Amino acid sequence: MTDTTFRFQSKFPKIGIRPTIDGRRKGVRESLEEQTMEMAKSVAKLFAENLRYPNGEPVECVIADTCIGGVAESAACADKFLREGVGVSLTVTPCWCYGTETMDMDASIPKAVWGFNGTERPGAVYLAAVLSGYAQKGLPAFGIYGNHVQDAGDTSIPDDVRDKLLGFAKAGLVVAYMRGKSYLSMGSVSMGIAGSIVNDQFFQEYLGMRTEYIDMSEFVRRMDEGIYDGEEFERALVWVKANCIEGADNNAESMRTTREQKDQDWETVVKMTQIARDLMVGNSRLDELGFGEEAMGHNAIVSGFQGQRQWTDHFPNGDFMEAILNSSFDWNGIRAPYMVATENDSLNGTVMLFGYLLTNTAQIFADVRTYWSPESVERVTGHKLDGFAENGILHLINSGSATLDGNGEQSRDGQPAMKPFWEISEQEAQQCLDATSWRPASVEYFRGGGYSSDYLTRGGMPMTMSRINLVKGIGPVLQIAEGYSVDLPEHVHETLDKRTDSTWPTTWFAPIITGEGAFHSVYEVMDNWGANHGSISYGHIGADLITLASMLRIPVSMHNVSEENIFRPRAWGLFGTNNQESADYRACQNFGPLYK
């Protein structure tokens, strides 16, 4: 039995669609019934065709049984949504409706209104009226209104409306899916890193999640008492020996471990991987083995492993465990990645979770380690940076916990990519494995040994780096930097890489520079980054992250997303329109955490 049994044990949230209508009978409502319901059906079709849950299945929509013309039908719709497990609410209408009688009043569900831009009926008037009502009642809602007038019989969804519908729905589903899940803290604070001081209030009030805690001694107990699937372990060990290439040992001769110890370390790190997964999501096989309590897991969609130093001074490090779990494949085949934060950095784990749920792809965990200016690169290597890298690059590197998907050996349209697991071929998974070597851990860092993954990310991938920081007096603050992975000539990479720990995976990242604020230069990006870690997602998802952050009432302190792509609740404009960043802070402070 594999992890798939308990992996997605809870139902996925559905999108509820509310067709609202002018309630006046004897001609008005009757003339609008078909058009209004068709709007709802067209949006449901759009979502089902373009959005998927983390397990790869199409997103499900629930449409109200009737058009909503007044409070009785609104209440009936709310009852249906509650029964059906709706976590996101979209109201659609081509006409005037009675605002406060037809609006969705559930404060915990992300909501939007699409008001049809047509001249025959005043859909835009209802949109403005109901959004005013939402703002007045403290229920921020997104407004969707097309740029161009459509004819009354036009059932198509314009591209600009389509983009906003999908952007809202993607972010709303993230909010809904996180609610009620757990962050599992495996261990405690790592080396004084503030992000690993797991903040229960943040997870509860902003994300609707609980925090679960275990001591790292639980790994020892489960290994010593055999609380893992022994058959899976034997199969996993065979797979590891066949697919995980052991690299050169960089330790000084006097500090290298014996072959016997290295083989024992492989066995330990494989068991650690099984145990961490079982701790997160459970495993029915453990129940069959007589461990009913352990079989349940902690309902965790994200976790963190302290590791350093109380664990790694004595036991093999968590690099293999974290890298494999964060990847889209292991000895059980191709599957959805898990989110496991190195050094129990729960804040970096949070943005890993955001990126994963928005894209269904694996996320790279990395140190934001070094800014290399064009002048420094040329001085050290003689090479002049060009292309995306012409303004300088960031060296993203950390002990080998980064997802193996991150080496870019998957492809889309002939270009390197990171893809949802259902799009990854067996050949691509093997290429990711073949492009990774497992280097015996540097015992100066990791006295207990272990293995660190070592690879180089292929250039040319659009990427988004993000980070959440907690600020006393403000709360959580999100940072975003869109950019590209870049290729460097081999001798340049080797020269720069060897100046740090070359047993770890490297991503050379070039943020997109706007010439303003924190994106005036690559140096300013590095200088304004709020912590030592960042999460890197495939694709330019900054706009989606901003939309998601506004739903959760988390302000964004720096980003390089084009202003025309930013989509927040309509009420944000009431906090000022000249400086969106400042308005975002005021709106988030005013409305407060979503679950407080």
Q: Calculate mean pLDDT across residues 562-590.
A: 94
Instruction: Report CA 136 to chain centroid distance, whole Å.
Output: 32
Residues whose CB is less than 8 angstroms from the CB of residue 491 and which lie 6 or more positions away in sequence, other chains included? 381, 383
Looking at the predicted structure, is the pLDDT value of residue 429 above 50? yes
Task: Give me the percent of the chain exceeding a pLDDT of 70.
Answer: 99
Looking at the predicted structure, is the pLDDT value of residue 5 above 70? no
Residues whose CB is less than 8 angstroms from the CB of residue 182 and which lie 6 or more positions away in sequence, other chains included? 209, 210, 211, 212, 298, 299, 300, 301
Looking at the predicted structure, is the pLDDT value of residue 585 above 70? yes
Alpha-carbon distance of 536 to 482, in angstroms, equals 9
pLDDT at 1: 37
344 vs 4, which has greater pLDDT? 344
Return the residue matching tokens 């067209």: 42
Q: Would you say 507 and 484 are in contact if contact means Cβ atoms under 8 Å apart?
A: no
Angle of helix 259-281 versus helix 230-243 axis, rounded to 10: 120
Q: Catalytic residue positions?
A: 343, 367
Q: Calculate mean pLDDT across residues 566-580.
A: 93
pLDDT digits (tens, 9 = 90+) for 126-172: 999 999 999 999 999 999 999 888 887 787 899 999 999 999 999 99
Question: Was domain 182-591 assigned CATH 3.20.14.10?
Answer: yes
* Pick from 351, 303, 362, 354: nearest CA to 329: 362
**Tokens describing residue 263:** 């083989």
Looking at the predicted structure, is the pLDDT value of residue 6 above 70? no
Alpha-carbon distance of 407 to 396, in angstroms, equals 12
Instruction: Report CA 327 to chain centroid distance, whole Å.
Output: 14
pLDDT at 53: 97
Please give the backbone phi and psi of residue 144, each rounded to the nearest 5 degrees, phi first: -125, 120
Looking at the predicted structure, is the pLDDT value of residue 399 above 90? no
Alpha-carbon distance of 306 to 185, in angstroms, equals 8
Residue 345 in marked binding region: no
Question: Was domain 5-178 assigned CATH 3.60.15.10?
Answer: no
Say which range, 18-27, 43-52, 371-380, has the weakest mean pLDDT: 18-27
All CATH 3.20.14.10 domain ranges in the chain, comma separated: 182-591
Q: Calculate mean pLDDT across residues 348-352.
A: 98
Q: Would you say 409 and 431 are in contact if contact means Cβ atoms under 8 Å apart?
A: yes
Kindly report the average pLDDT of the chain as a whole number: 95
All CATH 3.40.50.1070 domain ranges in the chain, comma separated: 5-178
Q: Would you say 534 and 347 are in contact if contact means Cβ atoms under 8 Å apart?
A: no
**Dihedral of the CA atoms 335, 330, 213, 529 (nearest 10)?**
-80
Indicate the pTM of the whole model. Answer: 0.96
Query: Which sign does the torsion angle of CA 383, 385, 391, 396 carry?
Result: negative
Helices of type H across 422-480: 426-434
- Per-residue HEC secondary structure of 280-348 comes to HHCCHHHHHCCCHHHHCCCCEEEEEECCCCCCCCCCCCCHHHHHHHHCCEECCEECCCCCEEECCCHHH
Helices of type H across 155-258: 159-178, 200-207, 217-224, 230-243
Q: Calculate mean pLDDT across residues 447-459.
A: 95
Say which range, 54-63, 104-113, 151-160, has the weakest mean pLDDT: 151-160
Residue 491 in marked binding region: no
153 vs 537, which has greater pLDDT? 537
Alpha-carbon distance of 168 to 174, in angstroms, equals 10
Residue 493 in marked binding region: no
**Tokens describing residue 397:** 């590197």
Q: Calculate mean pLDDT across residues 42-62.
A: 97
